[in-house]
C-alpha cells in the first residue's frame, strides 16, 4: 500500500508543479491529496515527514538552502542531509535508514522562501554517515524507480554519474527559483519595462549572465522582464544604461512592422525602467554598465 501511495504522490505532485510553475505553496502540501478515501499529507512539522498511513519509512524530506541544518552538496556531488537530532536511533533516522536499505524513493522538498517549496523526486538515501550525523541523498529519474542498486553506495559508473548529474541540476534549479522569487518580489511582480504583472509571463533576468564573473544570483543583478522584453534584452535589441534609461537598437527603431514592435519595443526608447521600491534592490550600476557596453557594440 505504501508503494502505491508514493507513486500516487509523485503523480499528484507533477500536476501541482505544472499548475504552480514549480513553486508549490506549503498549504497544499500540508493538505495533501486523497487516496482511497484517506488524506495523504506530504509535509509537516518535521523535516523528515511520515504521514499517519505509513509505518516507519517517511514519504518526504525537506531542506532549507542555507538553513540551520547546513544541508549541502557532499564532496562526491550528492546531497548531505542532517540526522534528526543527534541520536542515530531516533525514529526518523531509523526510517531513513530503512528507506536506504530498501531503496525506497522519497520526495525531496526544497524550502525556497517562506511557505514556498520545490518538489524533487525520486530521491534515494544512498549512504548513512553516523560519524557526522548525516545521510547522503541522490536524485534520480522517475523511470529508475524500483531499479535495484547496492545499498550504501552506487556501484555502476553509469548510475553514479546519472544520479550525480541529476542531483547537481536540482540544486542549480533550486537556486534559480530562489533568485526568481526574490527578483519578482523586489519589482512587485511586474515587468520593469512595460508593467505587465502576470507572474506566469515574467522572468527574472540576469544583468550579467550567471556564466560570467559577477553573474551572481542576487537581486541587484536581476531585472523582472516579461517574456518578450527578456528575449529583446538578451538579444541586445534593448539595452539599459547605468542611468536606468532604456535604449532600443538603432536599426530596430527604423523598422516598420506591426503594433507589437511599435508599442511594445520602439516606444520604450529613452524611457526609464521601473525601479524596485527599496533602494538596496536597485539594479547595480556597474553591472548595468558592463551589460550596456555589450549592447552598444552590437548596435
Position 142 scores a pLDDT of 86
CATH number of 2-182: 2.30.280
Position 152 scores a pLDDT of 45
pLDDT range class, residue 146, cuts 50, 70, 90: low
Position 149 scores a pLDDT of 46
Position 156 scores a pLDDT of 63
Q: Domain ranges in the chain? A: 2-182, 188-298
By C-alpha distance, which of 223, 219, 214 is closest to 281? Answer: 219
Q: What is the pTM of this model?
A: 0.80
Rounded to an integer, what distance in angstroms lies between the CA atom of residue 31 and that of residue 180? 26
Rounded to an integer, what distance in angstroms lies between the CA atom of residue 269 and that of residue 256? 15
pLDDT range class, residue 64, cuts 50, 70, 90: confident
Mean pLDDT of the chain: 92
pLDDT range class, residue 151, cuts 50, 70, 90: very low
Rounded to an integer, what distance in angstroms lies between the CA atom of residue 237 and that of residue 221? 19
Position 150 scores a pLDDT of 44
String of DSSP letters for 37-79:
TEEE----SSSEE--TT-SSS-SEEEEETT-TT---B-TTSSE
pLDDT range class, residue 158, cuts 50, 70, 90: confident
Q: Which residues neighbour 3 within 8 Å (Cβ) at sequence distance 6 or greater?
A: none
| Tens-digit pLDDT profile for residues 66-95 | 554 455 666 677 999 999 999 999 999 999
Element housing 203 (H / E) = strand 202-206
Q: Is the pLDDT of residue 223 over 90?
A: yes
Position 143 scores a pLDDT of 83
Amino acid at each position: 500500500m505504501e508503494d502505491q501511495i508514493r507513486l500516487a504522490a509523485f503523480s499528484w505532485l507533477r500536476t501541482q508543479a505544472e499548475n504552480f510553475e514549480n513553486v508549490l505553496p506549503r498549504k497544499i502540501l500540508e493538505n495533501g491529496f486523497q487516496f482511497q478515501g484517506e488524506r495523504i499529507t506530504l509535509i509537516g512539522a518535521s523535516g523528515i515527514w511520515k504521514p499517519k498511513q505509513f509505518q516507519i519509512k517517511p514519504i518526504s524530506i525537506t531542506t532549507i538552502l542555507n538553513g540551520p541544518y547546513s544541508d549541502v552538496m557532499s564532496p562526491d556531488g550528492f546531497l548531505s542531509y542532517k540526522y534528526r537530532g543527534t541520536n542515530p536511533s531516533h525514529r526518523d533516522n531509523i526510517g531513513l535508514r530503512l528507506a536506504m536499505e530498501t531503496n525506497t524513493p522519497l520526495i525531496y522538498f526544497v524550502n525556497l522562501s517562506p511557505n514556498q517549496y520545490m518538489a524533487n523526486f525520486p530521491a534515494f538515501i544512498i549512504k548513512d554517515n553516523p560519524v557526522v550525523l548525516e545521510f547522503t541523498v541522490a536524485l534520480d529519474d522517475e523511470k529508475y524507480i524500483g531499479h535495484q542498486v547496492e545499498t550504501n553506495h552506487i556501484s555502476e559508473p553509469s548510475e553514479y554519474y546519472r544520479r550525480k548529474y541529476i542531483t547537481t541540476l536540482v540544486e542549480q534549479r533550486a537556486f534559480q527559483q530562489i533568485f526568481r522569487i526574490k527578483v519578482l518580489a523586489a519589482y512587485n511582480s511586474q515587468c520593469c519595462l512595460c508593467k505587465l504583472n502576470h507572474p506566469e509571463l515574467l522572468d527574472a533576468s540576469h544583468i550579467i549572465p550567471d556564466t560570467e564573473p559577477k553573474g551572481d544570483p542576487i537581486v541587484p543583478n536581476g531585472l523582472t522582464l516579461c517574456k518578450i522584453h527578456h528575449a529583446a534584452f538578451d538579444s541586445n535589441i534593448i539595452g539599459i544604461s547605468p542611468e536606468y534609461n532604456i535604449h532600443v537598437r538603432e536599426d530596430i527603431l527604423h523598422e516598420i512592422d506591426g503594433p507589437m514592435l511599435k508599442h511594445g519595443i520602439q516606444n520604450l526608447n529613452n524611457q526609464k525602467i521601473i525601479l524596485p521600491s527599496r533602494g538596496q534592490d536597485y539594479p547595480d550600476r556597474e553591472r548595468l554598465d558592463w551589460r550596456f557596453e555589450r549592447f552598444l557594440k552590437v548596435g
